Structure 1
Amino acid sequence: MDFTGRQREGSAISTIYIDRRFSGPPDSANGGYACGLLARYTGNPAEVTLHSPPRLDTPLTVTRGDDGQVFLMDGEIPVASGKPWAGEITVPDPPTLEQVMNTPADQDITERIWYHGCFVCGTERAAGDGLRIFANRRLAAGGLADIWVPDSSLADSRGLVPAEMIWAALDCPGAWVCQMDKARVVVLGRMAADISAPVPAGRPYIIMGWHISGQGRKTQSGTALYDASGQVLARSLSTWIELQTVPNLPG
Structure 2
Amino acid sequence: MIIEKRYHGPEGSGNGGYVAGLLAGHVSSDTVTVTLRRPPPLETELRVGSDDDRGIGARLWDDGERLVAEALAGAIVVPAVPPVSYEEALEAAEKYRVAERHPFPGCFVCGPAREPGDGLRLAPGPVAEGTVAAPWTPERVPEPEIMWAVLDCPGGLAFGQDDPPLVLGTMTAQVTEVPEAGERCVVMGLARSREGRKLHAATAAYGADGRLLGRAEQIWIEVDAAHFGA
Task: Using structure 2 for the length normalisation, give the TM-score.
Answer: 0.91
Spell out, residue by residue over 1:95-117, the C-alpha distance to the aligned partner (whole angstroms, 9 max, x if none).
11122234463248843421101
- Please say if 1:53 is aligned against 2:39: yes
- Structure 1 residues 120-131: aligned runs within 5 Å: 120-131=109-120
CA distance in 2, matches of 1:183, 1:142: 13
Report percent identity of matched pairs: 36
Higher alpha-carbon Rg: 1
Q: Aligned pair in 2 of structure 1 residues 189, 103: CA closer, same or farther (>3 Å)?
A: closer
Give the aligned partner of residue 49 of structure 2: 63
RMSD value over aligned CA atoms? 2.0
Structure 1 unaligned blocks of 5 or more: 1-15, 153-159
Shift of 1:70: 0.6
* 1:34–1:164 Cα contact (<8 Å) kept: yes
CA distance in 2, matches of 1:30, 1:187: 9
Shift of 1:128: 0.8
Give the aligned partner of residue 40 of structure 1: 25
Spell out, residue by residue over 1:202-237, the C-alpha distance to the aligned partner (whole angstroms, 9 max, x if none).
211001101111110011110000012221110011
* 2:97–2:123 Cα contact (<8 Å) kept: no
Q: Aligned pair in 2 of structure 1 residues 109, 167: CA closer, same or farther (>3 Å)?
A: farther
- Structure 1 residues 194-213: aligned runs within 5 Å: 194-213=174-193
Runs of 4+ in 1 over 4 A off after TM superposition: none
CA distance in 2, matches of 1:248, 1:142: 25
Q: Aligned pair in 2 of structure 1 residues 20, 104: CA closer, same or farther (>3 Å)?
A: closer
CA distance in 1, matches of 2:185, 2:104: 23
- Please say if 1:90 is aligned against 2:79: yes
CA distance in 1, matches of 2:130, 2:106: 27
The one-letter code sitting in structure 1 at the alignment partner of 2:160 is Q
The 3-state SS of whatever aligns with 1:111 is: coil
The 3-state SS of whatever aligns with 2:158 is: helix
Q: Aligned pair in 2 of structure 1 residues 170, 126: CA closer, same or farther (>3 Å)?
A: same
Give the aligned partner of residue 12 of structure 1: none
- Please say if 1:176 is aligned against 2:183: no
Q: Aligned pair in 2 of structure 1 residues 104, 69: CA closer, same or farther (>3 Å)?
A: closer
Give the aligned partner of residue 155 of structure 1: none
The 3-state SS of whatever aligns with 1:168 is: helix
Task: Using structure 1 for the length normalisation, give the TM-score.
Answer: 0.84
Q: Aligned pair in 2 of structure 1 residues 240, 36: CA closer, same or farther (>3 Å)?
A: same
Shift of 1:245: 4.4
Spell out, residue by residue over 1:62-114, the C-alpha distance to the aligned partner (whole angstroms, 9 max, x if none).
00123842100001100000011123241233111122234463248843421
Aligned residues: 226
Give the aligned partner of residue 121 of structure 2: 132
Give the aligned partner of residue 117 of structure 1: 106
